[in-house]
A and B are shown apart, each in its own frame.
Chain A
Amino acid sequence: MKRLLLIHGAEVIALLLLSAIPLVVNNAYALGLLTLLAIYGILLIGLDVTVGYLGQINLAQAAFLGLGAYASGLSVSLLGFGMISALAMSLLVGLVFGGLLAFPALRLEGPQFALATLSFSALSETILNEWEGLTGGAQGLQISRPALWGHPVTAQGFYWLCILFLVIVWLAMRNLLSSQWGRAFEALRDSPIATDAMGIGTYRHKIAAFALGSALGGLAGGLYAFNFQYLQPQSFVYELMVILLLGVVLGGRKSLWGALVGASLIALLPNLLSNRLLFQIISILGFGIVLISGGRGLIQKTVRPFQAIAPMISMGLLVVGAALVTNTEDWRKAIFALMLFSVVVGLPEGLMGFAARFLSRIFHVPPAPLPSPASLDAALPAKSADNVPLLVLKDLKRHFGGVHAVDGISITVHSGRIHGLIGPNGSGKSTAVNVISGLYTPTSGSILLHGKPLPGNMFRVARVGISRTFQNLQLFTELSAIDNVMAAMKGVYHSPLPMVLLGLARREERRAQSDALALLELVGLQRQARVCAKDLTYGAQRFLEIARALARKPELLILDEPAAGLAYPDVSNLIKIIWDIHQRGITIILIEHHMDVISELCDVVTVLDGGRVIAEGSAEDVKRDPGVIEAYLGTANKITAAGVQELSANPG
């Protein structure tokens, strides 16, 4: 209750304050600034979806603002649209172009993604400039603010309309980002491979996130057009993009409040800079902040020296510049650059991230309580272990150029069994698993599940009931343990997107939470449910991977060297966990180097060497197989027992 009061109380106060200002302050200029603040708020919330949640540098948001603005402007002047339909048009243009750009940008990460968005912005600027017949080119486009359902809208009324849109966007995005969608976006940022392997789907979420962020950019553009009533392509260029990034980063990523704080700063910034005295005060304040926070970080050794010293130099330059330069307007870009540099290096979590830590210490906002764990039967329904062929590999091959990593293996895995897969390093175990789980397409041969061929991509394979863990951990590192499990949860989330946006999907959330708790209990992590995955111990991270894989309610679970690097007590825990999973009738393929783990658990063991099967049978049988001994220890025929005796009898 206290929690709800604090969080929503702050929102309501901010809303009341923002809405009441025009009643007190009767000044057209101030009203214009406030309107811009609300518009930037919407724009930055959209930008934060890609920059904060997807973790990609998106340089196209200014272009979407421009496209949205022209869409609204033109649909009013050419098609005679009213206010609402024109804004809907802007939203649609953002959504469609965002989706279109997301398709080629789909497979891209990091710099390539940034470049694709940068090209898109440059391209849309070219088009707005050159398509003079439609946009008026560099001359600009004059727009009159259309009526709202037949009523003319005053500047004040328009401000309240913008605030209304901001509130709607705020609420919808809060619902969305705290739902399965938000988790999927973050999962995608932390590990695209696991996002597919857990059946969450990278492509759909990347497109959705980008299209959504762009749609908000388009909407903001529509409002922007009706606010300024005059458009020029030059307003939506690279410099604005950098300012927008400044807003998101300075405010704080992954935070609605951060977007609002960032929006206020960038809306007011040009005014703050044009007054020299004000600018000097701000730069000195900023310098003070980096001195204190950097100095403290240095003394406590929580930051690298560069992270403390570089912002000091940068803000120091700003102070010196503020004292020397008479016309700050000329140096605007440099001022943005120095401020942004200090924030990115010295305060990477932004103002709100900084404030949130501070505020939570004062107010002690407890996290929402977790429900009690569900029964294991609900979270992980038992399967009948009827010992029929479940997964069949037929003459499976995977070559990388001349390397025959998997060179014709045929294995049958029976349902309900624990099937061991062993072999020396480089024998093709991991490649085989990567082919089964769809990461690699087979060079030849077939993989059948229940007699039907498996689809050849990771996402679809995960959807038909095969789940896996990774030898090199692929957790969603920034998510908590319980969110890691919930992100992969199957069969709980059914609500369509509109319901999620309206916040009507909370029951599913509770159910997912209690199911996830049950799975965490199974692997012994129920007490660490709220701990961020990257802060767990190595052993706990391995167990969390298993719990996450189980959230898929898999028919077949592939464990890729789950004991690698585990301390001894953890190995015995692991054996117990695998046994418990086995008891629920789930078929398991276990890849392992620890022979004791294999001997204790596996019903049948397949041994690989050089990409081929060299033995198969019970653990005891394969241990005695001469071919297996040779593969692991090398040939023994050169020095026979007799030979050794002979050697020792006749030394020299």
Chain B
Amino acid sequence: MRRGIYKKKITLFITMMLLLSFALVGCVPKSNSSSSTSKTEGKWAGQKIKVQMIGDFAMEDKTDPVTGETAKGMKVVKEEFEKQHPGATVDFVLMPWEGYTEKTQAMITSGEADVYQMPGVADFAPQGVLEPLQPWIEKDKEFSLDIFIDNQVDGWKALGTDSKELDIFGLPFLGDTRFIAYDKKIFDDWGVEYPSENPTMEEIAEKAKQMTGKNPKTGEQNYGIWFRGDWSSAFTLVDLAEGQNGTWGTGFAWDEVKFNLDSPEMLNGLNWLLEMQKYAPKGIVSNQGNEKWLSKDNNIAIMLNQGPGDTVKPAYAQGLGDRIGIVNEFKNDEGRGGLFAGSPITIAKSSKNKELAWEWVKFATSDFVQKFVFEEYGAIPAVKSATEWESVKEMPLMLPVFKAMETPMTPRYPWGSSQPRFILTSEIEAALTGNRSAEDALKKAQKESTEWVENR
């Protein structure tokens, strides 16, 4: 009798556990991950790596919501890598940009993947969780850093656990940059000359002023300029300071960082933004007012601090590729300035198959993958050879993008995703909304950022 009850209990328990397991397995979206069993033949037999990627990537084919075109899935890349590396298996963990920092942190802490796409490499390298890549580069005679667009490798250098020297922990995978975009039609309507390749603050201000008001041809209200007064305003302001040969400060390791947020160049930059606000639509501090940009009814002449992802492919998709122009952000006398952005790939220190992980890093920076992610997903390549691709030549807007990628400030701003950025952003917003004078706002930002660094 007892044995019968005991058996029933066990059966019930096992059934419950199985149901729970099925439910959990069923919850994992098929399209966002891939897994395969190990292979037993070939040079890389039995070796398996897991690669984490961030963005709009999908394993299966999917339709682009902007262009309506079908994008091939990452399974193509997987098949090619496994073909080139017999016996090897690569699995993917694909995630969206939303919350990628915390997800990456959780994954790397638990040793979930071997290779990571990691824009926050400067934050992870000091944790000692990343493999330094310099020895791998030196050991591999076939590989050269010359394949990358100038400045891209330097931009991703970071400090290791106890190091005082910047080191390579990530290689450029996806390119990104910031530039000034403009609408040629509005310039033509107003009879204003297009911005020069490296415009100054005075030039942009003058042109923005000229093109604010009723369009002489269409009679519609036009605005000379637009910039985000919230999320990315700290980068816009720092670029303005760099355009006057100023800096945000110095240092890379936190104990060496010295802020210079209330410098005369920063103050001049913020006052310039306050002046430019007069020629912008309402709503710049809430990311509003630019709704018509990249539409045929666009009413904004100049857009500051734009990125290629939101500009190039959408412009061609709307049939406005010829109407949009791109010029550099504000640069210092050495031709440098602006935010360094993009995504490097890194190898986790905990990876058990580092040889194969390194093979993946090389493969991901090869023309095959770089071209694939550009053509299928609109991701910006980080390699010089991209300028020769037919698909790039079909989009002439890509050429100034590649140029802009060569000249941002490197290494990446160490405060780019930390408290000082949010402190500065909030103070710029306070100035733009008239809650504080430009001088007081920057003094407050300087004081609070310095205190934060001292207390961390």
> Do the two chains belong together in a single complex?
no
B binding-site residues for A, Cβ under 8 Å: none
List residues of chain A with CB under 8 Å of any chain B CB.
Answer: none
